[in-house]
Structure 1
Amino acid sequence: MRRGFWFAAGAGAGIYAMNRARRLRESLTVEGLRDRAQALSLGARMFRDEVAQAQVDKEVELRERLGLAPPVRADRQLTAGSAPEPTPITSSRQRGTN
């Protein structure tokens, strides 16, 4: 009974180690590294979009609570569910002030 248990445990550990080594080898190929970079890029983009949406939602919530009118952007109002349009950042030299 003991020998059978240790044989099965050794075989299982060997199979697990071989699978881990294969996955590591595949992840270090050019395709594997490219997939990881694409996944990181997608994750960063999704995080950025979620932060922008949460910012809009919170701004709308605060404006409603304070009784302020929503800001008008171009030809539409800012509402929950619409992403804000980015505003360009200019330095004091570009604005003409010092």
Structure 2
Amino acid sequence: MFRRTFWFTAGAAAGVWATTKVNRKLQQLTPESLAAQAANKAIDAGHKLKDFALDVRAGMIQREEELGEALGTNAPPDPELPAQRRRPAIGRPAPVKNTRFHHSYNRNEDH
């Protein structure tokens, strides 16, 4: 009698365990759960990308300082020389065109 009770209890426990495991897996495969998992992975990827960009920027600043020291551009300017002019790398003004003789081509004009 004890053997039957043992095997019955073991079978019931295995059934409960298997049912619980299957239900958890089904919950993970619902569209809402899959969307949440994708959103979490996208957020994690964004954080990793931001950290990478910050590391690259820090390395770039460090390397610029090293190059400035090696080339002597970080040294204080000679007081006898005029101040160094710096041009912005981005946002340079466009060259001025002579608009007196300039005619733009419009392919939609009637000819």
Name the structure where helix makes up a greater proportion of residues. 1
Q: Which has the larger radius of gyration?
A: 2
Name the structure where strand makes up a greater proportion of residues. 1
Higher relative contact order (CA 8 A, sep 6+): 1
